[in-house]
Structure 1
């Protein structure tokens, strides 16, 4: 049994991240994360990874989808309710599975062998053990999970399992960010993380993006005194096993009905931290596109729009309107933000930003 952020390595050596919690019975819907250099090379200087023996390149934005679709079509699996193929791995093509919590447990059994592992232990001692949280409810992902991190350049990527632990870790981080002596700060306290970079989203400005990211709290900076380095630290929300509901068998059909622009009111944000992020909504006003009376939710597969809005807020959304038909005969509509054409036109943002955390 696998869940979001578990890693699959295929027989070709491609590395996929299991994406979300809704999967067909014979495979896993995924996001392509890394490829060995004999299969893919990237011109992006940030993409290079090595474990000392092999070289890998990381996929950014939708290039993983494009690469797999063009070169490894057997890793495009049929999503029957959608009626089209998505990136995924069939069970018989899984060669190796790596799980974040198991990898972290292994790393913590040993004395840290380098600066990054030492910093990881310090971060966990302060944020997890220091506040009495169970270490088994945390893991590592990204290059730490795969073992090809760079001790002096890589980030610290941590999974936090369960809504209860996420709520507590956000409280802890907020407290640390306000303590100038804590060695922690909010990565998005200013716009330095995106300053000077090409901005491709059309309907959210860099300043709006930073405002939304800042209040998510899960993106931090740890000032490591031993390595004298400012290290990005992310706490990635993942559902605990008891919180997971695989909707795949409950859905009969999902049909796209056009592009929509709308203002919506957030009624329930409890699934907003997880992937895909789900916001239960009611319509305020449809600006453009089909007008339907049963628009119930926003579903975002894009990490930029995770934890983007809270209960009671009004948001502006652009994306694909879809009709969802369930096996029991019920149906409703949703707006979906996902990979594909018009990627950078999609948006989910608070209509009137306020100083709210």
Structure 2
């Protein structure tokens, strides 16, 4: 079986990885290290502990997984030939167990209900009754999938499969947000996290505006119960997946680039990595080359960030890509050096807000 984005791998020593994207070498999977057992690692981040009666795992955030793999678990890397580099991931001979979002959702629906699972069922029923979507179009990820969620504190983390289904879901949520019980999380954010904001070239208020229009982040507010955050992360249907790995000869990083561009295509913008077809209008800083074809982002904050026809500002790594068919350039936002200096935002939205 071929794994895809947001499927989970539990390694032979208990590390929990989330599969990252769809382009993988034949002997392993590129992954994000998402949870580490408490007997192997501890974190000072108050958001990190997971477990019910006691802490069983710690969740990693931002560029923590990249740093921890390189420092503590270098055996969990796979060789990515086009980059001529070892990247965080799980070799197939180190896979202990695989868990899939669709299977986990069915298991939760069939289990006895606590406060969180009652909310899960009600949110899904609202969507299924207000759209053309079916139960098999969804899955769950994170602590819900892994079984160490807390019924009184955890969020509802869903997967939505397929581009067509994502459009249907976003239209459905836009309508539901007007009707009560479920609201856009970023319409009136419950807490101001600007003091914790780390991205240097992406203002926090602009981040809030971008998140609001994505529509996939909500809050369910049932009567006489706590509000529950709800998110829907898009994942490709199997029929939409094309593994680029075998067709790529090389990817060479050339240097840092700052540029203005127009989005020509956004069909891949919702997925991981988020891919935007672009026409670069002006290079502010860095190499000036012809043939910059796309922006590729592995940074969660820049998923669904801009839409076809919009102008954007981007800071990231210029890369030269040689495939079996063509030679082109891309701007990549990813883990590693200058992580929090990377940015991608809509100039149309920015100007409308007075930035």
With structure 2 as the length reference, what TM-score do the two structures score? 0.96
> For 1:224, what is the secondary structure of its paired residue?
coil
**Does the 8 Å CA contact 1:51/1:147 hold for their aligned counterparts?**
no
Provide the residue aligned with 1:80 in structure 2.
81
Structure 2: tracts of 5 or more residues without a match: none
Structure 1 residue 355: deviation in Å? Answer: 6.5
Provide the residue aligned with 2:31 in structure 1.
30
Provide the residue aligned with 2:280 in structure 1.
283
Distance 2:100 2:303 in 1: 22
Matches within 5 A, 1:204-283: 204-226=202-224, 228-283=225-280
> For 1:344, what is the secondary structure of its paired residue?
helix
Structure 1 residue 101: deviation in Å? Answer: 0.3
Distance 1:45 1:287 in 2: 39
Provide the residue aligned with 2:337 in structure 1.
341
Matches within 5 A, 1:1-357: 1-52=2-53, 55-112=56-113, 114-179=114-179, 182-195=180-193, 197-226=195-224, 228-328=225-325, 330-353=326-349
**1:30-59 superposed Cα distances (whole Å, 9 cap, x missing partner):** 000000011110001111001547610000
Distance 1:89 1:53 in 2: 27
**Does the 8 Å CA contact 1:187/1:193 hold for their aligned counterparts?**
no
Distance 2:157 2:185 in 1: 13
Distance 2:271 2:100 in 1: 17
**Does the 8 Å CA contact 2:49/2:55 hold for their aligned counterparts?**
no
**1:71-91 superposed Cα distances (whole Å, 9 cap, x missing partner):** 111101111101111100011
> For 1:265, what is the secondary structure of its paired residue?
strand
RMSD (CA atoms): 1.5
Structure 1: tracts of 5 or more residues without a match: none
Distance 1:81 1:302 in 2: 20
Distance 1:252 1:193 in 2: 46
With structure 1 as the length reference, what TM-score do the two structures score? 0.95
